[in-house]
Amino acid sequence: MTGMRAVLLALALSFLAGVPASAAEFDIPWFEANPSARAQWLRACRDDTRIARDARCGNAEIAENRVHARRLGAQSGVRSGQLPPAFETPMLLDAARAACAKPPAERGLLGRYCPRGS
């Protein structure tokens, strides 16, 4: 029986060694800075709803959205920070980019967020 306890203890310790010391290691800025880890987490989170409930999955999703929004903003001339914080989503940044591509008279409500002179 002692041998079985030693094996269980060794398994438990090896499992704990692979677990990060704190969830802060997987905060949003960390996921923004580590795209390959973010992609792995997102695959796992999207494949298993039990894992998807983890806060790290939420952090990975938010980081993915922020990176995507920055990429869209860089392509469009509409930069992050030009839209109100509640509207800093990839979809609205893309809509602002599309609005800015139109002549000023046809831009609609999002035209006010276009860079000056465009």
Q: What digits encode the pLDDT tens for the residues 23-68? A: 568 898 999 999 999 999 999 999 998 988 999 999 998 888 888 7
Residue 117, pLDDT above cutoff 60: no
The domain of 75 spans: 23-113
Residue 39 resides in a domain:
yes
Whether residue 6 lies inside any domain: the answer is no
Assigned domain for 34 exists: yes
In a domain, 5, yes or no: no
Domain membership of residue 59 (yes or no) is yes
pTM score of the predicted model: 0.48
**Distance of CA 92 to CAs 12, 48, 66, Å?**
47, 29, 12
Question: Cβ atoms within 10 A of the Cβ of 114, count?
Answer: 20
Please report whether residue 89 resides in a domain: yes
If one counts the domains in the chain, the total is 1
Q: Is residue 3 part of a domain?
A: no
